[in-house]
Amino acid sequence: MSLIFIFLDGVGLGLEEQSNPFFNVKTPFLTSLFGGKSLTREASGKDYAGATLLALDAVLGVEGRPQSATGQASLFTGVNAAAVLGRHLHGFPNRILRKLLAEKGMFLQLKSRSFTGTFANAYRPDFFQALKEGLVKRFSCSTLITYYGGLDFRNLDDLRNGQAVYMDITNKFLQEKGFKVPQISPYEAGKTLVNISRGFDLTFFEHFFTDLAGHSGDYNTAAEVVVTLDSFLESVAEHMDLQRDILLVSSDHGNLEDMSSKIHTFNPVPALVMGKQRHKLVSLLAGRQDITGVLPAILGTLSATREHGHGAGNADSPS
């Protein structure tokens, strides 16, 4: 078994309202999963024929709106990072959160249990210059867990060779920045992500155009992002072996699901789980019911699978 973890920045479970693009924009794949419902609060808390959708708390008992640095640190360590700081922190992680990520980051915890992992995202050349200069203060939580985990970062050559996926899924952003890369369909990107995942216990992909679209306040931009995401997830599900593999999609805080404002929401975030073997992961997530439970649920599921002899434990290490 292998597990693909797709992290969507800034996606909450909103209500069936006009301000929610997940409700108003056609998402044929997600709607088919949820028996005709959209990716909304009303669809959560249910086990469907091919998927389970849970709602996870992202506020974590700390006053204020959930933010990226503390939300992602909580997702990727299993620790309530907002409680550690005593507040929600936006943007890049500070010194305290970097220390937490260096000690308990997702890829480190995988390695300590002899599981293999990889980060599928491609990075631009300027990142590698910052990496060379050791400018970790500029790094996001996802980058830091990869850095502290000792994994290799994928570059634009990997992207061109079908060995990476860019954060916007289609490479359109890179082309607009002048990089010579092919623009691909969400379908192609989904297939690439699954191909990357073969041979790893956990494959991680981050998509943060969702949060950018939410902050933009532009409903057309939000609608385009939702349509792209729906097609991408459909492709991932189509190319995975859902008889034995698991797909997990979750987020750090709400935003895109309420375009009536440009700020983060207090909404719960989704934990969308697909695959015939998903119920161990679902039960572990349901036991915690907030975003700090995501990493423990991943580790618990991989460990349980290994005990039953279905893991990918003989895969080569990516580092």
Model pLDDT for residues 58-79, shown as the tens digit of each residue? 999 999 999 999 999 999 999 9
- 317 has pLDDT over 80: no
Torsion, Cα 91 97 100 102, to 10 degrees, reads 60
Asked whether 48 and 33 are in contact (CB, 8 A), the reply is: yes
pLDDT class of 315 with cuts at 50, 70, 90: very low
Q: Alpha-carbon distance 161 to 164, whole Å?
A: 8
Model pLDDT for residues 110-150, shown as the tens digit of each residue? 999 999 999 999 999 999 999 999 999 999 999 999 999 99
pLDDT class of 313 with cuts at 50, 70, 90: very low
- 318 has pLDDT over 60: no
Domains identified in the chain and CATH numbers: 3-63+116-290 (3.40.720.10)
Instruction: Please list the alpha-helical segments (H only) found in 150-208.
Output: 156-160, 172-176, 186-197
Model pLDDT for residues 232-277, shown as the tens digit of each residue? 999 999 999 999 999 999 999 999 999 999 999 999 999 999 999 9
**Mean pLDDT to the nearest integer, 146-165:** 98
Model pLDDT for residues 212-237, shown as the tens digit of each residue? 999 999 999 999 999 999 999 999 99
Nearest to residue 256, comparing CAs of 6, 5, 7, 13?
13
Burial of 60 (0-12, 13-18, 19+ CB in 10 A): middle
pTM, two decimals, is 0.95
Between these two residues, 305 and 111, which has the higher pLDDT value? 111
Residue in the structure block whose two tokens are 């987020």: 251
pLDDT of residue 308: 79
